[in-house]
Structures are given as structure tokens and as C-alpha cells.
Structure 1
């Protein structure tokens, strides 16, 4: 699975599971405002997360594949649906469902990738 998709899914899972914008990995340099988080890592990958109401917009650049991507997450209570597209035409859809301290994540992409994984605040992913 391309790194951009992994980064988008993990970013979404992090936002949903932890609900803490300030706890981003030290592997990336981030700038934050009230609604926007923008990060760049040591490999040149970049992404931003913007919130508008219950909708989260993610945009990024994957340095290795030299492709741009965008993802939109729509939250309905404990359920978040997401759709994304990359500059090479790959698309993906999925959802995150929060159950207590656990988040159940499922996605599939036009590139043939699909997965289901569970993340916990205690045990991680």
C-alpha cells in the first residue's frame, strides 16, 4: 500500500482514536492553528489536517511516489466515513468506528489494497 494512503489512514485513526491534535510524532515537524495542522517529515512527505465542523480534510504529498493526495472524513457520532483520491488516480474509501477506547478501521482502494485493523488507546494498533 502506498505510503500516502498509510499516512492518511493512520492520521485519521490517530485523530479519531486519540482526539488530541498536539500529540503528533516527533518524526515530523508540525505547525498548528485552531483548525489546521500542517506537518513535514524528514523524508519530505507533507500533510495537513483541517477541520470544519464534523468534517476533516486531509491533504498531502508523498515524496517517494511524487504524488499528491486528498482525503475527506465525515463524522457521525462514533462513526467516521472517509474517501480519498491521489494524483495518480488511485481512490479509496473506508470507515472508522469508535467503541469505547477501541477504534475499528476498514478501508479498500482502487489499487487492490484492503484491510481491517483495530486500534486501542491502551495497546495501540
Structure 2
């Protein structure tokens, strides 16, 4: 019996990149280097810019409790933008891609765990949990 690979969910990968970039933004170092298999990032006072080994690129800018993300996804050849608004332990996000896809969701931090839920106009929806110890 042949096994089929699971369908690739670009929204889930975008969210993981977003969560990775937010964690890097919280770091205190002036320049961050992530293992080359993930991404190489450069940081200034309020901007983080990253490029991964596949050529996907994204940037994160923070202003108060709002975070602005922009990026380019190689696989879909599309640009995207997302805005995150934080209210205590809860972060709401909305995004729009150059192909017209829109998405909404939230992340809720509970101790060392983050619960994430999203849905998009492209039909994707889901939830996943990330932990500082075990990852996503």
C-alpha cells in the first residue's frame, strides 16, 4: 500500500513562522541567528527581518501592543501582511495575501503554553498548541 504525504497547509506554516518571529522579537540580543535550516534574522530596535533556506522572507515591526508582519512565501509566490493586537495574554490577528486569501485567529498564552486557532477564506482552519519545551 502506498502512503500519500499529507497535504501541505501554507497557513499553518505561515503561523509557525509568525510565532517564531514573535519569539525572536522578544529576545534581547541586537542580532539573532537561527539555525540555517530555519531562518537567518537581523534585528534592530523595533524591526526583525528574516529569510529562511527556501527563500521565504518576512519582517516583524512592533509598535506598542500591535505587531505588524509582512512576508513573501516562495511556494505560493505570494506576498502577505498580518496585524496582531495583544490584550494581556490574548493576541488577535488578521491577515491578507496578494492572492486574495484572508485569515483571522488568536493566540492565548497560558503559562509556558500557547493555544492557537485560525481560519481563512481559502478554507483552512485549525488549532495547535505550542510549548516552550516541546515546540509546536
TM-score by length of 1: 0.87
CA RMSD of aligned residues (A): 2.1
1:73 is matched with 84
Matched, 1:120 2:131: yes
More strand by share: 1
Flag the 1:35–1:63 CA change in 2: closer, same or farther, 3 A: same
Higher relative contact order (CA 8 A, sep 6+): 1
1:54 is matched with 65
3-state DSSP of counterpart to 2:27: coil
Match of residue 105, structure 1, among 116, 120, 129: 116
| Cα separation, 2, equivalents of 1:61 and 1:38 | 12
Moved over 4 A (4+): none
Give the number of aligned pairs. Answer: 123
Please report how far the alpha carbon of residue 39 of structure 1 lies from its aligned counterpart in structure 2 after TM superposition.
1.0
TM-score by length of 2: 0.81
Deviates more, 1:27-36 or 1:49-58: 27-36
Match of residue 12, structure 1, among 7, 11, 18: 18
Any unmatched runs of 5+ in structure 1?
A: none
